Structure 1
Amino acid sequence: MFESPVIIGEITGVYGVKGWVKVFSHTEPRLNIVKYNPWLIKQGKDWKSVKLLSGRSQGKTIVAQIEGVNDRDQAHAMIGTEIGIERSQLKTLGKDDFYWRDLEGLKVVDVDGKALGQVSHLIETGANDVMVVKLPPEQAQDKKIKETMIPYIFGDVVKRVDLQGRLIEVDWDDDYI
């Protein structure tokens, strides 16, 4: 029913006896997950739209009340369920800003056009984000390492991102690999 939802969290437990659920959030800050409404929840292979009635911090966790989930048994049945939203619910970013999910899978080349690999995923280090790049098969055979990390510093290391062309150009020496 829904095309490729953006995964923003997961139901991890139950809270109380009135159907509230505990939520693990991928949003930043974590509590932002309750600002999205409706949620899409995965049931089997299908996604279902559900209305979020309420959500809040509860100690170190986040709890939420979903319409139609009225008791602990119904909430318990949802443990492990992914929470997604439609892409249209995301805010529009600036010209040189990108969601991580849009960068994953892009080919990475240096400024001379030499292939460095493909973005596997990104990690947050505190100082700056880092792209984890899987090396091309020909490079990975020659070395014990199969991936490298490239700082995601737009303008300095990352020179250009072309989402249409599925390409990231970086000023990065493959001697670092």
Structure 2
Amino acid sequence: MTVANTPIVLGRVNGLFGVKGWLKVYSYTRPADNLLEFAEWMIGRQDNWRPFRVLESRVQGKTLVARLGDTDGVPLPDRDAAVELLELDIAVSREAMPPLPHGAFYWFDLIGLEVVNRDGVPLGRVTEMMETGANDVLVLAGDRERLVPFVYGEIIDSVDLDAQRIVADWDPEF
């Protein structure tokens, strides 16, 4: 599987909605309803994905719901067919992701990158991202856990996805 069609997990099937095969879905995107913008989903885990077409979707109160069909558009017939998808991940192909402006990055692209300060001192690897009220934060694992605000141009000097490296203006003692 090439990087272009590597599934990017954006949500999870977390319930059933009604008796006609609709699903409740939990979105990892922000805003949450961005998940509904994709016309095709892959549902599964790791290397076991099954393609689906999103036939209908909407925000239902505080929940997202979707009606899926196979690649020919034949809908899931009923609740019994939908139950097989419970607790599985929802992904889209990388090539389906919209391009971002300069200085913006998808969080999944930052996970695993090495972070060094301006002097080249290793600070750790990005293990996750945290959303705070003020800004996003890189969670780094290394000799110890570090939390580095992801403020591009102020604290983050550069992100080089090809080199798998982030350079930050950050004191290694923090």
TM-score between the two structures when normalised by the length of structure 1? 0.89
Structure 1 residue aligned with 2:152: 154
Q: CA–CA distance in 2 between the matches of 1:60 and 1:95?
A: 32
CA RMSD of aligned residues (A): 1.5
Give matches, 1:62-141, under 5 Å.
62-67=64-69, 68-135=75-142, 140=143
**What secondary structure, in the 3-state scheme, does the structure 2 residue paired with 1:74 have?**
helix
Match of 1:103, as an amino acid?
L
Q: Kindly indicate whether the alpha-carbon contact (under 8 Å) linking 2:43 and 2:85 is maintained by their aligned counterparts in 1.
A: no
The Cα of 1:76 is off from its aligned counterpart by: 1.4
The higher radius of gyration belongs to 1
More moved, 43-52 vs 105-114: 43-52
Q: 1:56 to 1:113 in 2, by over 3 A?
A: same
The Cα of 1:45 is off from its aligned counterpart by: 4.2
Structure 1 residue aligned with 2:72: none
Q: Which runs of 5+ in 2 are unaligned?
A: 70-74
Residues 2-59 of structure 1: CA deviation (Å, up to 9, x unaligned): 8420111110010000000000011111111111011111168421211111011111
Q: CA–CA distance in 1 between the matches of 2:139 and 2:46?
A: 31
Q: Which runs of 5+ in 1 are unaligned?
A: 141-145
Which of these residues, 5, 8, 24, is aligned with residue 7 of structure 2? 5
Q: Kindly indicate whether the alpha-carbon contact (under 8 Å) linking 2:121 and 2:172 is maintained by their aligned counterparts in 1.
A: no
Which of these residues, 17, 20, 30, is aligned with residue 19 of structure 2? 17
Equivalenced residue count is 167
Moved over 4 A (4+): none
**Percent of aligned pairs with the same residue?**
39
Structure 2 residue aligned with 1:143: none
